[in-house]
């Protein structure tokens, strides 16, 4: 393999785990090396869920140190992506005013209707084109206004989670474009904050930051951190697709936009198509599609579906009971099982963040007059079946909205490793499934850094490099797996 030309460091912080991945670029290929992984970047404290921002920061420092040793002081860039919607608030001295809430916290429960009583659902959607969810930033800020107004009165800056981490590394305050679009107070048509919407809800607008596009350098790593990590060169922190889904879609080797659906399948399943302009109308609001934004001002026209997070919670529950099973084994055994005589809907609120996930399934089955799952394989198969049928439903809605015929389904992220899930999706949808890469988010993060460094011209060129760097697997509909 040719000599490494650039070493680029990608930090990817998701709901359940975080990783530092070193991307080695030789001018033709990208080779990824995971150099650090940790779990539980969030904490449940005194009845609430928070991001453990100190742990995230310390993991970044550890990752930089390790990458610096591996590359012998030859890191060329750093990019951070995280979940969307969550934020930290800074005071007039740029001090963090509290741990950022984790989006699965229940503080926003039952607030959406109250917001709609002030500003109608139709007006909010027309302004923002974003799917309605309790965890959206606008609902979280309204919760602050209702439950801790003093913090908004004293806040001087709002920084989304990746922007906050970038600030801790550089001292520079910006809002990156893709993560800003998840807030439900960004107007994609006007390409600016929806100031009037916030004012109608009596939410402050002075705390918003200048928006920066992915593929741009934010600043050099601060001198204090460089000294702490033994960095002896200029090391830029780069704005990537800071919303992890934006990076994941950038890292998806889509061939033809008009006939391809992507599914970023991890804790959530983000299913949609990539366009060059938003689609905002009564029909897209009815089906609850979002117009989130991507690299090169693309539109991620998608819907959020509960994904594999719930299976991860079930796995943790089984492990506490002494059942040590891997996801690979669960997936393999689920393929051998007949379809269950019960169905679950993991989008149901009962599965959002239950204290006992197994009990939640039992309660759901009681509520819907169904039999109970007998074992962990039945639960796994039920989750896979529900996902496959939800994918089919929303693919059909996309065809209805766009008038386009979908032929290909690109599945990326952790779910792409499950042959059982991918085959079920092919069977249920009747579409060709293209699985991979598993590390699409890291690839997309690295691609944005390469654009910022001037090594590649655009997203299209980046996706061609990804295709050369990985092996994709294809699935066609088969009758053997039910």
Catalytic residues: 244
First to last CA, the chain: 43
Q: Determine the Cα–Cα distance for residues 81 and 69; give it in Å rounded to an integer.
A: 23
Q: Whole-angstrom Cα distance, residue 222 to residue 333?
A: 50
Three-class SS of residue 398? helix
Residue in 256, 290, 258 with CA at minimum distance from that of residue 404:
258
Count of CB atoms situated within 10 Å of the CB of 478: 11
Phi-psi region of 269 (alpha: psi -120 to 50; beta: other; left: phi over 0): beta
**Contact assessment for residue 79 and residue 21, using Cβ atoms and an 8 Å cutoff:** no
Alpha-carbon span 434 to 78, nearest angstrom: 29
Pairing of strands 268-275, 299-306: antiparallel
- Eight-state DSSP code of residue 288: T
Cα separation, 449 vs 12, in Å, equals 14
Cβ proximity of 241 and 450 under 8 Å = no
Q: What is the DSSP letter of 236?
A: E
Which residue, 262, 256, 218, is CA-closest to 240? Answer: 218
Q: What is the largest CA-CA distance in the chain?
A: 65
Q: What tokens does 178 get?
A: 């893709």
3-state helix, strand, coil in the chain (%, to 5): 40, 20, 35
Question: Cα(39)–Cα(42) distance, rounded to whole angstroms?
Answer: 9
CA angle at 98 for the pair 110 and 218, rounded to the nearest 5°: 105
């Amino acid at each position: 393999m040719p000599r490494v030309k650039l070493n680029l460091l990608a930090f990817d912080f998701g709901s359940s785990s975080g990783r530092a991945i070193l991307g080695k670029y030789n001018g033709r290929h990208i080779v990824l090396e995971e150099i650090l992984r940790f779990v539980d970047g969030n904490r449940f404290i005194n009845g609430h869920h928070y991001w453990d921002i100190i742990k995230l920061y310390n993991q970044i420092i550890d990752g930089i140190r390790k990458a610096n040793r591996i590359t012998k002081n030859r890191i060329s860039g750093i990019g951070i992506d995280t979940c969307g919607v969550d934020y930290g608030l800074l005071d007039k001295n740029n001090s963090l005013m509290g741990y950022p809430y984790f989006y699965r916290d229940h503080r926003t429960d039952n607030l959406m209707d109250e917001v709609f009583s002030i500003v109608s659902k139709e007006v909010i959607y027309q302004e923002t084109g974003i799917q309605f969810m309790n965890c959206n930033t606008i609902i979280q800020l309204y919760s602050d206004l209702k439950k801790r107004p003093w913090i908004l009165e004293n806040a001087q800056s709002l920084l989304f989670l990746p922007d906050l981490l970038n600030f801790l590394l550089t001292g520079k305050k910006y809002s990156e474009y893709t993560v800003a679009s998840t807030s439900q107070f960004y107007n994609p048509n006007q390409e600016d904050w929806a100031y009037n919407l916030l004012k109608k809800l009596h939410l402050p607008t002075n705390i918003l930051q200048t928006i920066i596009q992915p593929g741009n350098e934010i600043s050099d790593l601060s001198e204090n951190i460089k000294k702490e990590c033994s960095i002896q060169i200029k090391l830029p922190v780069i704005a990537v697709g800071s919303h992890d889904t934006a990076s994941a879609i950038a890292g998806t080797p889509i061939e033809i936009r008009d006939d391809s659906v992507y599914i970023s399948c991890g804790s959530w399943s983000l299913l949609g198509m990539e366009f060059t302009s938003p689609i905002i109308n009564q029909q897209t609001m009815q089906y609850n599609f979002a117009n989130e934004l991507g690299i090169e001002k693309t539109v991620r026209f998608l819907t959020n579906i509960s994904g594999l997070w719930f299976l991860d919670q079930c796995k943790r529950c089984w492990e506490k009971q002494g059942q040590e099973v891997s996801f690979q084994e669960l997936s393999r055994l689920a393929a051998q099982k007949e379809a269950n005589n019960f169905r679950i809907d993991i989008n149901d609120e009962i599965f959002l963040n239950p204290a006992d996930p197994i009990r939640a399934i039992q309660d759901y089955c009681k509520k819907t007059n169904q039999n109970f799952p007998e074992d962990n394989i039945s639960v796994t198969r039920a989750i896979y079946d529900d996902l496959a049928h939800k994918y089919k439903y929303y693919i059909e809605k996309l065809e209805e909205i766009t008038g386009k015929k979908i032929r290909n389904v690109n599945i990326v992220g952790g779910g792409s490793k499950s042959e059982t899930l991918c085959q079920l999706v092919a069977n249920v949808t009747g579409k060709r499934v293209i699985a991979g890469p598993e590390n699409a988010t890291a690839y997309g993060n690295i691609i944005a850094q390469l654009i910022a460094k001037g090594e590649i011209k655009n997203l299209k060129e980046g996706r061609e490099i990804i295709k050369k760097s990985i092996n994709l697997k294809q699935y066609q509909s088969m009758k053997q797996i039910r």
